[in-house]
Structure 1
Amino acid sequence: MTTPAHIAMFSIAAHGHVNPSLEVIRELVARGHRVTYGIPPAFAEKVARTGALPVPYTSTLPGPDADPEAWGTTLLDNVEPFLDDAIQALPQLIEAYEHGGHGVPDLVLHDIASYPARVLAHRWGVPAISLSPNLVAWDGYEEEVAEPMWAEPRKTERGRAYYARFASWLAENGITRHPDPFAGRPARSIVLIPKVLQPHADRVDERVHSFVGACQGDRSAEGDWRRPAGAEKVVLVSLGSAFTKQPAFYRECVAAFGDLPGWHLVLQVGRRVDPGELGVVPANVEVRSWVPQLAILKQADLFVTHAGAGGSQEGLATVTPMIAVPQAVDQFGNADMLQGLGVARRLDTEKADAATLRATALALVDDPEVARRLEHIRADMAQEGGTPRAADLIETELPTPARRM
């Protein structure tokens, strides 16, 4: 039996980074561990519901409901805020743990975007495990993806300054690694996605990265949903939590599925779209700013998704055919992976007009091969272990016996 330990988790205030870890944290608490969770206040209540103790810190990153435009348009626009935030967050977390009564943990868990967590683990001399909510680097990733992507930014004064500042911050904290492997090559990683969503999975070092698949758990606290009487087909449209300011796309969805005999459309539009922008909405269309996504997918016949890592695996876990309409970052790759698996069709936003959406939907929901492939993938996912296996793997990395409580 594992000795109860103090485990500290760290993440950023983003749904796609926090949500995948919550069931793992809940399981660790249920096993008797004391879990603290460094997180900005916007997610403190959600973290507290797992039984973990939130350790709030002030973040300078755009909040969970910020417009995606707040992140800028270039690669450096995207990455500089994470370094800025890490530099200012680190002293807050040192104060909270070393002087604020939380104490130094036995083990650090961290989201891939939490740079301070890795510095803290080094400072404290404790093991660190990455909980990755999306794909991980494979053998050859740097040459095939990272180096071409960074080739031009590295030549600029701004790019050189970014790397110099990152390296200087690491050196100040006793870390001599280059920023790239520091950020992208953890010593130990638990991957919270199904292996089928990992590009070049056969080239991933599984001595480092363990795929445990979906860790979804009980979502009843998020609310319930009931399929309307007479709805022969249900389609959920959701672009997640960040990339929701797409009124033109939503109007195409209403035109595609509104008044389609026997169909019911649940349309999540987020908080930055006024439902009035959609025009006249037929009776079979349900417009929401937010939905209990998993509850709906368990009853849905089709999922129109931005192909974020969380939504993609929820579609797979609920054997729901998908139309993938990617918006940013890893979503394009996820959309291609889903299409390659034969369980989805990718439509880029500019091509996702009403006629194309409707034709694609009708073909997907009536295709027995799509249904067969989804069932096969769900069976494989069940063998990956999910939440219990993730907790088991974390416990194997704890010092024996745990040094602190």
Structure 2
Amino acid sequence: MTDPDLRSDTADRSDLSTSAQIDPADPADPADPADPADPADPADPADRSSSAESVQVGRDAFPAGAAVSASAGGPAGEAASLAGSPGGTANAAGRALAAGSAGLPEWWPELAEARAVVHVTQGTLDVDPADLLRPAMQGLADRDVLVVCTTGGADPATLGPLPANARAAAFLPHDLLLPHVDVMVTNGGWGGVLAALQAGVPLIVAGGSLDKPEVARRVAWSGAGLDLRTGSPKSSRIVAAVDQVLGDPSFRARAGEISAAMAVAGGVPVAVDLIEGLLTR
């Protein structure tokens, strides 16, 4: 059964057309989605408002059924094409095995053998493993998944003893890792969220500080993942969210559509042209 607190916000897309009213730095703000005491109220537009011009992951911005394209080029484009192609898993497995000399951990080949891979990361800023990494590992310990955690630079030993199905590293290259990943659990860092979407990987976001609650809302609103509405979720909520995303192919389909739209947008060359155009006005 779907947990009603796991937000997909599919009925609230129009709310993103209003001006931003969420102050993620103010924990006392009743509209702050980082406040776990704030119930999921679909009638509260302040919980989901933001500038329409900044919306990058809205459903209406990306046509349904768009195919994942490899035209993005480079590792990101390769990741996007692997995520959406029937031969992606086999190709990624071959590349992973060949990359053994590139400083990857010795357990790397297990990625290609796992039934499902759950990547858990807290980025490099909010790195207390008690917030997300440990609850995720503990909750998923009895699941038939491979849990891959990154600590954001800290010694993986700080996580303590790992469950039998968990692996950990300080850092891992997302361009090599994400083609293997079935769902990414993150605290909502914008760079990591974009990397996952570019690779067509659905997300579970536990955003509790800075812009992360807003990022979580946008992910949920887009249909590419779930918003846990707290930066320190309980193990049971993480497990319920993972089960929901793995059991519903629409999340990966939406992530793939967004990946395709990102590739079509043109990336860095288009951004450079736009910036130069502004500078020469």
Q: TM-score range by the shorter chain?
A: 0.5 to 0.7
1: CA distance between counterparts of 2:231 and 2:276? 47
Matched residue, 1:281 = 162
Does residue 353 of structure 1 match 2:212? no
Distance apart, 1:370 and its partner CA: 1.5
2: CA distance between counterparts of 1:145 and 1:275? 34
Deviations 1:89-133 (A, max 9, x none): xxxxxxxxxxxxxxxxxxxxxxxxxxxxxxxxxxxxxxxxxxxxx
Matched residue, 2:250 = 369
Alpha-carbon RMSD across the aligned residues, in angstroms, is: 3.6
Matched residue, 2:173 = 292
2: CA distance between counterparts of 1:340 and 1:139? 12
Distance apart, 1:304 and its partner CA: 0.5
Matched residue, 1:268 = 150
| 8 A contact 2:203–2:224 mirrored in 1 | yes
| 8 A contact 1:324–1:346 mirrored in 2 | yes
1:374 partner SS: helix
1: CA distance between counterparts of 2:254 and 2:22? 29
Distance apart, 1:338 and its partner CA: 0.5
| 8 A contact 2:151–2:170 mirrored in 1 | yes
Does residue 326 of structure 1 match 2:187? no
Deviations 1:307-364 (A, max 9, x none): 1211111121111111101131111001001011111111144662222211210110
- Matching residue within 108, 128, 141 for 1:258: 141
Matched residue, 1:242 = 125
- Percentage of identical aligned residues: 27
2: CA distance between counterparts of 1:352 and 1:277? 20
| 8 A contact 1:243–1:327 mirrored in 2 | no
Identify the structure with the greater strand proportion. 1
2: CA distance between counterparts of 1:223 and 1:384? 33
- Matching residue within 114, 132, 135 for 1:231: 114
Matched residue, 1:196 = 57
Matched residue, 1:316 = 197
Structure 2 unpaired stretches of 5+: 1-15, 27-52, 62-71, 77-98
Sort the Cα spacing of 1:339 and 1:233 in 2 relative to 1 into closer, same or farther, 3 A.
Answer: same
Compute the TM-score of the two structures, normalised by the length of structure 1. Answer: 0.43
Matched residue, 2:11 = none
Compute the TM-score of the two structures, normalised by the length of structure 2. Answer: 0.60
Which structure is richer in relative contact order (CA contacts within 8 A, separation 6 or more)? Answer: 2
2: CA distance between counterparts of 1:388 and 1:239? 30
2:265 partner SS: coil
Sort the Cα spacing of 1:270 and 1:392 in 2 relative to 1 into closer, same or farther, 3 A.
Answer: closer
| 8 A contact 2:208–2:232 mirrored in 1 | no
| 8 A contact 1:223–1:292 mirrored in 2 | no
| 8 A contact 1:239–1:305 mirrored in 2 | yes
Structure 2 matches for 1:386-401, cutoff 5 A? 386-397=267-278
Matched residue, 2:187 = 306
Structure of greater Rg: 1
| 8 A contact 2:124–2:151 mirrored in 1 | no
2: CA distance between counterparts of 1:331 and 1:393? 27
Distance apart, 1:217 and its partner CA: 4.7
4+ runs deviating over 6 angstroms: none
1:196 partner SS: coil
Distance apart, 1:227 and its partner CA: 4.6
2: CA distance between counterparts of 1:294 and 1:218? 5
Structure 1 unpaired stretches of 5+: 1-137, 150-190, 202-214, 401-405
